[in-house]
Structure formats: structure tokens, C-alpha cells
Amino acid sequence: MIDNSLVVLNSLSGEKEAFKPINPGYVGMYVCGPTVYSNVHLGNCRTFISFDLIYRYLKHLGYKVRYVRNITDAGHLENDEDTGEDRIAKKARIEKIEPMEVVQYYTVDFHQILEKFNTLPPGIEPTATGHIIEQIELIKEILKAGYAYEINGSVYFDVLKYNETNHYGKLSGRKIEELIHNTRTLEGQSDKKNPQDFALWKKAEPQHIMRWPSPWSDGFPGWHLECTAMSTKYLGASFDIHGGGMDLKFPHHECEIAQAQAIHQHPPVKYWLHANMLTLNGKKMAKSTGNNILPLDIFTGKNDFFKKPYSPQVVRFFMLQAHYTSILDISEDALEASEKGYMRLIEGVKQLATITPGNEAGGFDTEMWLKKCYAAMDDDFNSPLLIAQLFDAVKYINQVVHKGIPISSAQWDCLNTMLASFIHDVLGIAPEVKSSSEAEDKLSKTIGLLIALRNKARANKDFATSDQIRDQLLSYGIQLNDGKEGTQFTIK
């Protein structure tokens, strides 16, 4: 129920603010998606799981949420600034494939991994290359407003001009003087008037294959522009939540604010939310140092960091045991503890289902418990606090089972409904997928049953049925082999 108790930490003010969407009952939320040039890494997954939690809780409260998360498939250069090769074009060149093959491959990978983590898909997932026209229109508007300049076929945002009447750096807490002082001028490498300026449109070099026609040159949009174009198109010039990883605050989100403010003369976003980073064994994750692990490597157990595999649900649960704004460290000990906690929680729910409630109530105040659960989530989506409450309920359930403490029907109903709701709907923890050996065991038993039915049909001279069973199984890739020992089967 929407009762306006929710507060969120707004990165723009640095303070917790009451969450009041622009249109009551509706929420527009934009989250910066991945640049699809390599496998999605675990740190990114943490960001998307964090915003999945936020999306799920807003929906749980009854908001109608329009969730937009983009796919960056052009314009993101190697060093996040305006130099270097396009990340996707570079990968395509190395692999000797089309850039759009790179995009397709890693978009599929991204979706598959996030599905394993049980994240809900966004309502709209627009791509940069699908919105080139919108981006060109935005550049025209920024030029018209006087905050950009064209030079040699490229267009740059004029940061100093913008800063005369606005504060460039207000999200990341930077001052323009410091930026000027700290930015190196790359002599001869750029047409920019000032090194702080950022590209809205870049003229493509002859060898650059990802290019589109524009009034200024055949080229490509600057990375920061796509998010302004797509958030404005789908959520309007003012919307409620903009999210992303902490590392995107500067320059990416700062540039987004500048672009939108330059055109509309008002800030685009009411609440900026940032998810913090994930470290591995106490150190920053980076491909270059080897202190890096892909989600699949954790699920399969094929990695140099952990002794055994951990399921996507355990990893998700582990991530939710920390607040999304805190730095979280992943390690064997932490994962093992989370796995135990996860099992205890799921076991508690199963135990509850076996209990028959009576008339007498036990000493567990379900009403107060429910209030505490909501209070946790209303306090800037504090999932670790919610999980602590869920464990309190599990403790009570165990006392009912093992110590004969009473539970009334009202208590049972509340726990039964709300535990499932918090675990599955809000935290997004899915029931564990059965291990393959368990699944195989069930398959063997099922085929055994079909073999028995076939034998019965043959004994009754019902050859139509026995042939049907054999042929149908064969069409599924399961071959029956009749021999002295009876009928065996092989799966092709």
C-alpha cells in the first residue's frame, strides 16, 4: 500500500528524502544499462539486482512503474572520455565479426545471466543505435540553446558556458575550478575548446564502421547523449528515479543533467539513486589485475576463487544481505554464510506449511513484525534489515515446530502470506532449481514407469500402444533397448 512512508537516499542532495513521485501513484525509473561488448560482470549484476529490488518494492507498494533500462550498443569509447576506439567496434575488429554480432551476442548473455538472478525485465529496453534520430534532434536543441559548438564535423557541449548559469558537478560534488585544474589538455588530439567539454557528436574517422549521417558529419553520438534522449522520450523531461552504478556519477550522470538542463531549463530527475560497488576478497575487481570473476564461473564452480559452486539464488541473497549503497565484498566465507542463511530461510517457509495452527496465539507479535518489515524497506530499501526480520519469523516457526509453542490461524495466515511475499515478490528470491542429479533421478523413474506400461501393453498384445511409447520416446531422443536384463534406455 502506498502510504508515503518511503524515504530514499538522493545522491543529488546527499540526504534521505521522502519519496513523492511527480504523478501520484506512478513512477518513472531509468537505469543505465550495460555496454554490450563483453560478458556482464558481477559488479554490474549487483547494480541491476539492486534496482530490481527497488523496482519490485515499488510495485509491491502498488505503484505503477515504468522501468526503462537501456542497452549501449554504440558511442561508448574506451576511456569513458572522448578518445579511444568504440568498445563494440574494437571487439568486432579483434573478433573479425560485425559490430552488431558483438551486440547481439553480449545482449543475449546479459539477459540470460540476469534471468538466472531472477531479475524482472524492464518495461522498455531501448538501444542507442535505435535512437540516433532522437539524439541528433537533441544536439540541434542544445546547439540552439547556445550550450554547444560545432568544430570540424564534431559537436561538443560547452561546459564552461553552461557553468556560468548552472552548476556543472552538483551531483558528484565537483567544482569546475578543480575540474579545470585536474584535466590534462591533450595537445592536438582534440578539437575541443576546453578539455572539460564533452562530445555530443563525433565525426567518424574513415576506418570507423559504426557511423550515421547527421547535419554535421557522418559520425556517431557521444555516450552521454543516449540516456538523455531515451529517458526523455519514454519518461518525459522530468521523471522520478534515475539509477546506475556509483562509477557513473561522473562524468556520465553529470553530463546527462547538463544536457537536459540546457534544453529544458530544469533538472531532469527528482531522485538520483546509486548502487555501490562489489569487491572480491577485499580488492577492487578488475580484468587487468586478474581479481575478477564472471557470474557463470561462480554458478559452475569453475574458478580460482571459490572451492565450490554457488547458485544464482544464493549469490542474489548474498547481495541483498548488504544495503545497496554500501560497498560489498564477495568471498568464500561470505558466500558460505549466505548459503546457510538462504537454506534456513527456505526451510523455515517449508516448515510453516507443515504446521496446523490452533486457536491459541504464541508470543510472536505478527502485526509488529509486519510493521518492522515495511519500516526496513521504507528506509531506503534496507534489504539486510528486512532479511533480519524474516529470520526472526523463521526462529518463531522453528520454536513452534520443535518446542510446541502455539501459533494461531491469524498468525499462521500472516506469516504464510507475507513471508512468501517478501521473499519471492520483494527480494526476488526464487525457489532453488533442483540439482541435476535430483532431476536425473526423477527422469529415470519417469522413463521406468513408461517402460513398465509398455511391457504391460505388450503382455496384453496391445502393440499399437507399446510401439507408440517406444517411438514417441525415440522422437524425444530417448532410445529403449530390449535385452536379457529387461529394457534399458539411453538418452541421446
The residue ranges that bind Zn ion (CB under 5 A) are: 32, 227
Distance in Å, CB of 234 to Zn ion, minimum: 13
- In the bound state with Zn ion, the residue whose beta carbon lies nearer, of 118 and 135, is 135
SS (H, E, C) the chain: CCCCCCEEEECCCCEEEECCCCCCCEEEEEECCCECCCCCCHHHHHHHHHHHHHHHHHHHHCCEEEEEECEECCCCECCCCCCCCEHHHHHHHHHCCCHHHHHHHHHHHHHHHHHHCCCCCCCECCECHHHHHHHHHHHHHHHHHCCEEEECCEEEECHHHHHHHCCCCCCCCCCHHHHHHHCCCCCCCCCCCCCCCEEEEEECCCCCCCCECCCCCCEEECHHHHHHHHHHHHHCCCEEEEEEEHHHHHHHHHHHHHHHHHHHCCCCEEEEEEECCEEECCEECECCCCECCCHHHHHHCCCCCCCCCCCHHHHHHHHHCCCCCCCEEECHHHHHHHHHHHHHHHHHHHHHHHCCCECCCCCCCHHHHHHHHHHHHHECCCHHHHHHHHHHHHHHHHHHHHHCCCCEHHHHHHHHHHHHHHHHHHCCCCCCCCCHHHHHHHHHHHHHHHHHHHHHHHHCCCHHHHHHHHHHHHHCCEEEEEECCEEEEEEC
Distance in Å, CB of 469 to Zn ion, minimum: 56
- In the bound state with Zn ion, the residue whose beta carbon lies nearer, of 227 and 314, is 227
Alpha-carbon dihedral sign for residues 238, 248, 116, 417: negative
- In the bound state with Zn ion, the residue whose beta carbon lies nearer, of 32 and 314, is 32
Distance in Å, CB of 368 to Zn ion, minimum: 41
Distance in Å, CB of 146 to Zn ion, minimum: 24
CA atoms within 13 A on the CB side of 329: 8
- In the bound state with Zn ion, the residue whose beta carbon lies nearer, of 128 and 373, is 128
- In the bound state with Zn ion, the residue whose beta carbon lies nearer, of 32 and 40, is 32
Whether 129 contacts 73, CB under 8 Å: yes
- In the bound state with Zn ion, the residue whose beta carbon lies nearer, of 267 and 309, is 267
Residue type, 399: Q
Distance in Å, CB of 32 to Zn ion, minimum: 3
Distance in Å, CB of 263 to Zn ion, minimum: 17
- In the bound state with Zn ion, the residue whose beta carbon lies nearer, of 72 and 190, is 72
- In the bound state with Zn ion, the residue whose beta carbon lies nearer, of 223 and 374, is 223
Distance in Å, CB of 7 to Zn ion, minimum: 25
Distance in Å, CB of 221 to Zn ion, minimum: 12
Distance in Å, CB of 468 to Zn ion, minimum: 57
- In the bound state with Zn ion, the residue whose beta carbon lies nearer, of 58 and 71, is 71
- In the bound state with Zn ion, the residue whose beta carbon lies nearer, of 68 and 418, is 68
Distance in Å, CB of 227 to Zn ion, minimum: 3
